[in-house]
Amino acid sequence: MTRIVVVGATGNVGTAVVRRLAAEPDVQVVGVARRLPDVHTAPYGDAVWHAVDVGASDAVDQLAAVFRGADAVIHLAWALQPTHDIPVQYRTNVTGTANVLAAVARVSVPQVVVASSVGTYRGVDAAGKRLRVDESWPVDGIPTATYSIHKAENERAMDAFAQANPDVVVTRLRPGLIFQRAAAAEIRGLFLGPLVPMQIVRWVQWAVLPLPYPFVFQAVHADDVADAYWRAVDRRAAGAFNIAAAPVLTPPRIAAVLGMRGAVRIPLRLLRGLVTLTWRLRIQPTDAGWIDIAASVPIMRTDRARTELGWEARHTSEDALRDLVSGFADGANVEGSGPLRG
């Protein structure tokens, strides 16, 4: 029996990972979350649960007790909010990752798989050609985006950890934006805030989508990301893996999925200014760093995931976004998961 511990197992990705691991007959899934889910709701009943705050001062001791005897740890815990309180984010994102790595080393877990992101990559010129890059592209992040800064700091921590712990297989996945229907309420809360109703996607079909020309991004369905995590553990694959589905989402493609009449180009500076103003007024929770990420991160190549993990996305990026949009329209959320309730 393979024992896999999933840290941050009740979020968008964590829920999908628990569901994917539970489908394997010889895997015992152990879930770690700050708030425990309702185990009577699928897929949470398929895991053994422990409540741990990864940023707490005693987290290493608590995590080590849970990790002891595990064959692998998958670390997904992350705080996207509050963007107005960066130290709170840092406590979970950076201190929490350091605590997970320290606990892995303490009890000699054979493999740790950490959630990185396309957002960890160094930006390219937004006015120029968007480069297609492999995992060797620098991972020092976008300096104006807190999310990117934290991901880049964790990449450096993983490098140092791998050098200091050569017996531990260190794996990192760098996915694009991750969508699934059940995450609609969570994503609305994290990026749009409570003032934006879930059913807004029903009201925009008569409109055009105003976005800057360089605003493009890659996406992937949560179930496909979860499959990549399982494959990384099953194959004891070390190193970094880009995870994304085709095609790249451009403003016209996003508008088509939303059922809108098309897209119209607006200046990047205008969008950034509007986002900054509404964020400072606390009208919505997303700061302009996310605009900088969407406007400047490179386009990832996924050859290594296909070759070494045997991974292929079963959903296109448009299908993944369409699944999320349908969740918005219907007010979908995951029952039983505190973090995923709207």
**Tens-place pLDDT, residues 182-239:** 888 778 777 777 766 666 666 777 789 899 988 889 999 999 999 999 999 999 999 9
Given a cut of 90, whether residue 68 has pLDDT beyond it is yes
Residue 287 belongs to what H/E stretch? none
Mean pLDDT calculated for residue range 274-287:
94
* pTM confidence score: 0.94
139-147 mean pLDDT: 96
**Residue-level pLDDT at 342:** 33
Residue 35, pLDDT score:
94
Question: Range with the lowest mean pLDDT among 138-147, 209-218, 274-283?
Answer: 209-218
Give the count of beta carbons closer than 10 Å to the beta carbon of residue 68.
Answer: 14
Please say if the pLDDT value at position 26 is more than 50: yes
Return the beta strands (E) in the chain as ranges: 2-7, 27-33, 47-51, 72-75, 111-115, 132-133, 169-175, 177-179, 209-211, 219-221, 239-243, 263-265, 299-300
Token pair for residue 260? Answer: 């809108």
Mean pLDDT of 126-139: 82
Residue 78 scores a pLDDT above 90:
yes
267, with CB counted inside 10 A (0-12, 13-18, 19+), is: exposed
Output b/e per residue, 152-167; b: 16+ Cβ within 10 A: bbbbebbeebbeebee
Check whether 128 has a pLDDT greater than 60. Answer: no
Q: What is the pLDDT of residue 125?
A: 65
Output the pLDDT for position 336: 46
pLDDT tens column, 79-119: 999 999 999 999 999 999 999 999 999 999 999 999 999 99
The predicted pLDDT at position 191 comes to: 76
Neighbour-count burial of 193, counting CB atoms closer than 10 A to its CB (0-12 exposed, 13-18 middle, 19+ buried): middle
Rg of the chain in Å (alpha carbons)? 19
Query: Is the model's pLDDT at 248 over the cut of 90?
Result: yes
What is d(CA 298, CA 137) in angstroms, rounded to the nearest whole number?
Answer: 9
The pLDDT value given to residue 314:
97
Confidence (pLDDT) at 202? 67
In this structure, are strands 132-133 and 111-115 parallel, antiparallel, or unpaired? unpaired
| Domain 2-176+219-244+298-313: CATH architecture, name and number where available | 3-Layer(aba) Sandwich (3.40)
**Residue 297 has what pLDDT?**
92
Give the mean pLDDT of the chain. 91
What is the mean pLDDT of the segment spanning 126-144?
86
CA distance 29 to 31: 6
